């Protein structure tokens, strides 16, 4: 069965957060993050979780740079969705090449839903010797199904317990480049 095209889904989708609200949230996050890392001798390792985290991570990195906080970039690709609308077992497609031993690491992702991916990635960073692992997400889904011990250190906006897409989040690999967050129509 093929998924409906994005245009069909958009006809009934609800706008949850527009671009201006998301950009304001990212600016607020950057202020808090600058304060956290100010005075560190070495820039934090800024690890983007692909593909969803890419648009948010780019905006956040620019906002941090405007505030004088340098970061060192790397990325990883781990997914539970593989184009679907429900998660399965975690698949590692690329691990960061930068050594993490003794580093302060910021994991940057599009959304904290239940936290399975972020928990596994955070544990991997710790196993690699990271001194500190923090999580920055654009959105946190509001529900009571989060994995124990997983929460975002910085979160831009809350989203309802619905399937959301846009600004990095996809609907069947579509709509990641939408400049806002939408929810599938109810």
Task: Report how far residue 45's alpha carbon sits from residue 74's, in angstroms, rounded to the nearest whole number.
Answer: 7
| pLDDT score at 186 | 83
Helix (H) or strand (E) holding 92: strand 91-94
Residue 144 a catalytic site member: no
Which of 114, 154, 110 shows the shortest CA–CA distance to 134?
A: 154
User: Do residues 164 and 181 lie in contact, with contact meaning Cβ atoms separated by under 8 Å?
Assistant: yes
Instruction: List strand residue ranges (DSSP E) for 113-176, in order.
Output: 132-141, 154-159, 164-165
Indicate which residue of 74, 109, 110, 113 is catalytic.
113
Number of domains in the chain: 1
| pTM of the predicted structure, to 2 decimals | 0.92
In a domain? residue 1: no
* Tens digit of each residue's pLDDT (9 = 90 or more) over 127-166: 999 999 999 999 999 998 888 888 999 999 999 999 999 9
In a domain? residue 71: yes
CATH number where 143 lies? 3.40.50.2020
Domain that includes residue 177, residue range: 6-183
User: Do residues 163 and 169 lie in contact, with contact meaning Cβ atoms separated by under 8 Å?
Assistant: no
User: Do residues 164 and 140 lie in contact, with contact meaning Cβ atoms separated by under 8 Å?
Assistant: no
| pLDDT score at 88 | 60
User: Do residues 144 and 129 lie in contact, with contact meaning Cβ atoms separated by under 8 Å?
Assistant: no
| pLDDT score at 90 | 80
* Confidence at 50, pLDDT banded by 50, 70, 90: very high
User: Do residues 81 and 117 lie in contact, with contact meaning Cβ atoms separated by under 8 Å?
Assistant: no
| pLDDT score at 3 | 78
In a domain? residue 63: yes
User: Do residues 157 and 139 lie in contact, with contact meaning Cβ atoms separated by under 8 Å?
Assistant: yes
- For 4-8, 11-15, 90-94, 171-175, which range has the lowest pLDDT when averaged over its residues? 90-94
């Amino acid at each position: 069965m093929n998924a409906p095209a994005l245009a069909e889904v958009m006809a009934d989708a609800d706008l949850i957060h527009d671009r201006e609200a998301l950009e304001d949230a990212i600016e607020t996050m950057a202020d808090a993050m600058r304060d956290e890392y100010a005075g560190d001798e070495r820039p934090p390792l800024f690890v983007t979780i692909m593909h969803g985290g890419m648009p948010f991570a780019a905006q956040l990195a620019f906002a941090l740079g405007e505030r004088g906080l340098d970061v060192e970039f790397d990325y990883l690709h781990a997914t539970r969705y593989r184009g679907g609308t429900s998660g399965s077992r975690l698949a590692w497609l690329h691990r960061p090449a930068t050594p993490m031993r003794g580093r302060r690491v910021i994991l940057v992702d599009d959304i904290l839903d239940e936290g399975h991916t972020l928990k596994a990635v955070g544990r991997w960073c710790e196993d690699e010797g990271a001194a500190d692992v923090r999580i920055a997400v654009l959105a946190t889904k509001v529900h009571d199904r989060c994995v124990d011990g997983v929460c975002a250190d910085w979160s831009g906006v809350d989203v309802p317990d619905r399937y959301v897409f846009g600004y990095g989040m996809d609907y069947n690999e579509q709509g990641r480049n939408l400049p806002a967050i939408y929810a599938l129509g109810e």
